Amino acid sequence: MSERSRVFVLLAYIAFAGASYAQQMEVADEARIDAVMHAAFPKANSEWLARLKGDQTILACSKSRDAPPAEVARTIAAREGATIQYPADGKLIGDWEKGESLAQSGYGLRFTDYPPTRENGGNCYACHQLTNEEVSYGTVGPSLLEYGKIRKFSEAEAKAAYDKIYNSHATFPCSLMPRFGTNAVLTVEQIKDLVALLMSPESPVNRP
Amino acid sequence: MSAKPRIRLPDSVTIGEIIEIKTLMAHPMETGARRNADGTLVPRLLLHTFEAKFQGKEVFRAALHTGTAANPFISFFMKVPGPGEFEFIWIEDGGGRTIERKTLKTT
Amino acid sequence: MKNIRNKACAAALVLTSAFAGTGLTQQSGSDSIERELDTYRSMMKSDPWSNPAMLDVDRGEALWKTPAGPNNVSLEQCDLGLGPGKVDGAFAMLPRYFTDADRVMDVEARLLWCMENLQGFDRVKLLTRPHPSAGMPVKDLGAIATYLAYRSNGRSFSATFSHPKEKAALALGETLFFHRTGPMDFACSTCHGESGKRIRLQSLPFLSKPQEARKILGEWPAYRVSTAHVMTMQHRIYDCFWQMRLPEVELGSDVSIALISYLVKQADGGEIKIPGMKR
């Protein structure tokens, strides 16, 4: 074997061994993560501990730091899209006034929210701008000002909005946005009210 | 009112100099408008008066109200007439007092 | 009469008058909000002596030096990594591995260990409700931690992470930082993984970026105006987990120490300027 090909074989071997080692590190990390997470919450009951168990999608997103390879992304979009449930009558637009209250409320699922005294909120303003009136808005997500107006209040866009709220990964694999519907944070009725907030011509989102 | 207040006086000053005296006092300054987790009102407990005396003579006084935040920081200025003893008094609702004394040296 | 609340009220007045009657566009609204928030923040920091956390520094110093617990000894024999009782600069070198405990520890976990093993305090009691509720002062362990951190003021974060267990804590911390979990699928990186973002009006440091971590980590422990008490780093993580819809993370748990290790590593070289002042 020539010197060059010897070096090539050596480098290939190192790269291969390195890749296998990295995969072993990740597997060890998963078991270790489970163990340390369980140990970190001695007061948590089984219901709370169940929250820590990641599903396939979220484990893939964690591993790839929310930048999954194309193949994985396609799988996630399909898997998550299949979980979306729609209202029986097919009507996706609810009450925008209720939607605004939901967007303002961060109530629910925190360990101080038990026993619950009201419904869970969507906490949309934590990350998004929605109306002009509310100046206390976050910027982790894009501005939703004039959302429906920009999209010409189309039915297709209302469904797209419903999908994004119910399970954002169906549209944006490894999206930062919580899977409000699939993870049972919000009900179908609540999601309809948020769709109304975004897509109703009367909603303050579309009357800035 | 058991925590010891902090008082800052300049180390050594000259007669006629204008100095800033700073004080920091631990106190919840409960307005009586806040509610506990169970919905009951937290009772009002405020520091309502701060007095500063130098050589027995009042040099500064403040009336505090619900707008003053917890752990109040109060500072004021004085023209130094000579060396002497400061006495600082914080009075809370119910009459409880905290008194601190500190010496001011002049060069 | 100067007063932090008066300054905050003045800032709030400036903030609200800036927005009164204006029709905001998305771009200009966001920029002017950030400017006003910066003004508010610098007003709060303008006089370090006026920070009420200094009262807890004093209290922490007294607690460090006063005999206490069933064994009636002070903490002055507690080894923070530079030798028993050596306080100056010790916080700047944490977290680190301690042979006697066979664990990597941050300042609060180490204090817990010393309070238990030197002073004889009951560990279970120390771990029950270790953090203050709004309006209550920081508890004893947190006050001592604030004092110890203050004694590293002006120094840079310089933990070496050379011991194998220190390296393991770092690796675990990095994985945890990006680990999404809970009903909201949040990881630390969800909020702290980008520059220039905020939740409502609270700006978020990009903590896995050394440039930003260096500027911010040295401000903890900090006095929080909204809750009128000092918040330590363990409490900060506990509060983050609360918002992430996760359970109550235990003070000094491997998870908390691993995350703190990762953050300190990102902040390596950053200046310690305690106590900070936060909203």
Residue C146 neighbours by CB distance under 10 Å: 30
The nearest alpha carbon in chain C to A185 belongs to C183
The nearest alpha carbon in chain B to C52 belongs to B71
What pLDDT score was predicted for residue A29?
75
Could B22 and C49 be called an inter-chain contact, meaning their C-beta atoms sit closer than 8 Å?
Answer: yes
Could A54 and C249 be called an inter-chain contact, meaning their C-beta atoms sit closer than 8 Å?
Answer: no
Q: Give residue A76's pLDDT band: very low, low, confident or very high (50, 70, 90).
A: very high
Q: Give residue C3's pLDDT band: very low, low, confident or very high (50, 70, 90).
A: very low
Distance CA C170, CA C99 (A): 18
Domains of chain B: 6-104 (2.60.40.10)
What pLDDT score was predicted for residue A11?
54
Q: A141-174 pLDDT, tens per residue?
A: 999 999 999 999 999 999 999 999 999 999 999 9
Q: Give residue C8's pLDDT band: very low, low, confident or very high (50, 70, 90).
A: very low
Could B69 and C59 be called an inter-chain contact, meaning their C-beta atoms sit closer than 8 Å?
Answer: no
Task: List CB contacts (< 8 A) between B34 and chain C.
Answer: 135
Determine the residue among A36, A175, A187 to mutate to test chain C binding: the one whose Cβ has the most chain C Cβ atoms within 10 Å: A36
SS3 C178: coil
Q: What is the DSSP string of B18-41?
A: EEEEEEE-----B-S--B-TTSPB
Could C200 and A62 be called an inter-chain contact, meaning their C-beta atoms sit closer than 8 Å?
Answer: no
Q: C96-132 pLDDT, tens per residue?
A: 999 999 999 999 999 999 999 999 999 999 999 999 9
Distance CA C195, CA C212 (A): 8
**Cα radius of gyration (chain C):** 19
Burial class (CB in 10 A: 0-12, 13-18, 19+), A85: exposed
- Tell me B60's DSSP state: E
Task: List CB contacts (< 8 A) between A184 and chain C.
Answer: 183
Q: A126-149 pLDDT, tens per residue?
A: 999 999 999 999 999 999 999 999
**Predicted model pTM:** 0.88
Give the bridge partners for A188, in sequence order. Answer: none
Verify whether residue C240 is a known catalytic residue: yes
pLDDT mean across residues, chain B:
93
Task: List CB contacts (< 8 A) between C50 and chain B.
Answer: 22, 24, 73, 75
Q: Please report the ipTM that was assigned to this predicted complex.
A: 0.88
- C53 to chain B, minimum CA–CA distance in Å? 9
Q: A14-41 pLDDT, tens per residue?
A: 555 444 444 444 444 788 899 999 999 9
User: What are the tokens at A146?
Assistant: 């004039």
Give the bridge partners for B51, in sequence order. Answer: B61, B89
User: What are the tokens at C169?
Assistant: 């804590």
- Tell me B105's DSSP state: -
What pLDDT score was predicted for residue C2?
44
Task: Read off the pLDDT of each residue in C55-72 and give the average, rounded to a whole number.
Answer: 97
Domains of chain A by residue range: 3-81, 96-206
Domains of chain C: 52-278 (1.10.760.10)
Q: Which residue has the higher pLDDT, C5 or C231?
A: C231
B46 interfacial to chain C (CB closer than 8 Å): no
**Strands (DSSP E) along chain C, which ranges?**
96-98, 103-105, 197-199, 202-204, 222-224, 229-231, 276-278
Please name the member of C52, C59, C228 whose beta carbon is closest to the beta carbon of B24.
C52
Element (H, E) at C75: none
Please name the member of C5, C6, C54 whose beta carbon is closest to the beta carbon of B6.
C54
- Tell me C49's DSSP state: G
pLDDT mean across residues, chain A:
90
Task: List CB contacts (< 8 A) between C137 and chain B.
Answer: 3, 26
CATH architecture entry for A96-206 = Orthogonal Bundle (1.10)
pLDDT mean across residues, chain C:
89
For residue B72, pLDDT beyond 80: yes
Residue B81 Rama label (left phi>0; alpha psi -120 to 50; beta): alpha
Q: What is the DSSP string of C17-28?
A: HHHTT----HHH
Task: List CB contacts (< 8 A) between A208 and chain C.
Answer: 23
The nearest alpha carbon in chain C to A66 belongs to C178
Q: Which residues of C236-272 are buried (b: 16+ CB within 10 A; e: fewer)?
A: bbbebbbebbbbbbbbbbbbbbbbbbbbbbbbbebbb
User: What are the tokens at A96?
Assistant: 């925008």
User: How many residues can be counted in chain A?
Assistant: 208
Q: What is the DSSP string of C142-167?
A: HHHHHHHHHTTTTPBP-----SHHHH
Least confident of A71-85, A130-144, C40-54, C162-176: C40-54
Q: Which residue has the higher pLDDT, B4 or C195?
A: C195
Distance CA A13, CA A26 (A): 20
Query: Which residues fall within 8 angstroms of residue C54, CB to CB, at 6 or more apart?
Result: B6, B24, C275
Distance CA A200, CA B58 (A): 66
How far separated are the first and last CA of chain B, in Å rounded? 35
Asked if C256 and C249 touch (Cβ cutoff 8 Å), the reply is yes
A34 interfacial to chain C (CB closer than 8 Å): no
What pLDDT score was predicted for residue A6?
66
- Tell me C223's DSSP state: E
Please name the member of A112, A126, A184 whose beta carbon is closest to the beta carbon of C199.
A126
What does the H/E/C string look like for chain A?
CCHHHHHHHHHHHHHHHHHHHHHHHHHHHHHHHHHHHHHHCCCCCHHHHHCCCCCHHHHHHHHCCCCCCHHHHHHHHHHHHCCCCCCCCCCCCCCHHHHHHHHHCCCCCCCCCCCCCCCCCCCHHHCCCCCCCCCCCCCCCCCCCCHHHHCCCCHHHHHHHHHHHHCHHHCCCCCCCCCCCCCCCCCHHHHHHHHHHHHCCCCHHHCC
Please name the member of C2, C55, C225 whose beta carbon is closest to the beta carbon of B3.
C55
Considering only CB atoms, which residues of chain C are within 8 Å of chain B? 1-6, 8-9, 47, 49-50, 52, 54-55, 58-59, 135, 137, 225, 228
